[in-house]
Each structure stands twice: as C-alpha cells, then as structure tokens.
C-alpha cells in the first residue's frame, strides 16, 4: 500500500472523556486503527471576535485517506464544539509493517 494513502487526523476536544468517546466510536466502526490522546494542551484562539484561552485534549488518529470524509462527518456529529478542528495530514513515510497494519485495521 503506498504510504501516501495513510493519514493522521487531528482534532482537539474539550475534555478527556470526549476525546476517548470519539476515539472509541471511530475504533468500533473501523474508521481508525489507533488514537493517541495528548493532554493537556493550552489553546489560544480568536472566537466570535474575542481572544479565548482554554485547556484542550489533542486526539491524533491514524487511518486511510478513503475514510477521512466519513471521519470528519462523524467527529462533527459527535463533538461538543460548534466548529471542531478536524485536519488530516498524509503520512509520507514510515515502517512498512506499521502502515500495513493501519490499512488492515481500517
């Protein structure tokens, strides 16, 4: 499988519980092979004209490119934020065995 088909999807969540819930559902649906929860993160952003700060929980998920659209739709539906960050980056290189595992799991 070409490495460019494996992606890392990132979202920020307002709580650890929300991040684990989203990861669990996407794992159950075989849309992601795994997820990493990195926390806490201090976020600074502009929202509705005001500068806001908050503590968030970064969720990194590995998947195949063909699932990114469905993952985006699922996160948007499950997420507590009005406008959740959902970004996807290609994994261009890495362990062939690991990348194959991601593909096999999704």
pTM over 0.85: yes
- How far apart are alpha carbons 70 and 31 in whole angstroms? 8
- How far apart are alpha carbons 3 and 26 in whole angstroms? 21
Cα angle for residues 50, 9, 53 (degrees, 5° grid): 20
Local confidence band at 65 (pLDDT 50, 70, 90 cut-offs):
very high
Whole-number pLDDT of residue 3: 44
Contact 41, 55 (CB under 8 A): yes
- Say which CATH number the domain at 73 has: 3.30.70.120
Averaged confidence pLDDT in the chain: 95
Which pLDDT tens digit goes with each residue over 16-54? Answer: 999 999 999 999 999 999 999 998 999 999 999 999 999
- How far apart are alpha carbons 90 and 68 in whole angstroms? 11
**Residue 2 pLDDT greater than 80, yes or no:** no
Residue 22 lies in domain: 3-105
- CA distances (Å), origin 86, targets 10, 54, 59, 93, 97: 6, 18, 10, 22, 27
**H-only helix segments in 1-106:** 16-28, 68-78, 96-105
Number of domains the chain contains: 1
């Amino acid at each position: 499988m070409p490495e460019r088909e494996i992606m890392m999807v990132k979202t920020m969540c307002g709580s650890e519980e929300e991040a684990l819930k989203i990861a669990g559902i996407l794992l159950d649906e075989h849309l992601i092979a795994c997820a990493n929860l990195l926390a806490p993160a201090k976020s600074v952003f502009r929202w509705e004209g005001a500068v806001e700060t908050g503590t968030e929980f970064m969720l990194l998920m590995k998947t195949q490119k063909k699932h990114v659209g469905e993952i985006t739709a699922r996160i948007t539906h499950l997420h507590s934020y009005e406008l959740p960050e959902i970004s996807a980056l290609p994994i261009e290189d890495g362990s062939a065995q690991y990348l194959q595992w991601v593909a096999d799991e999704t």
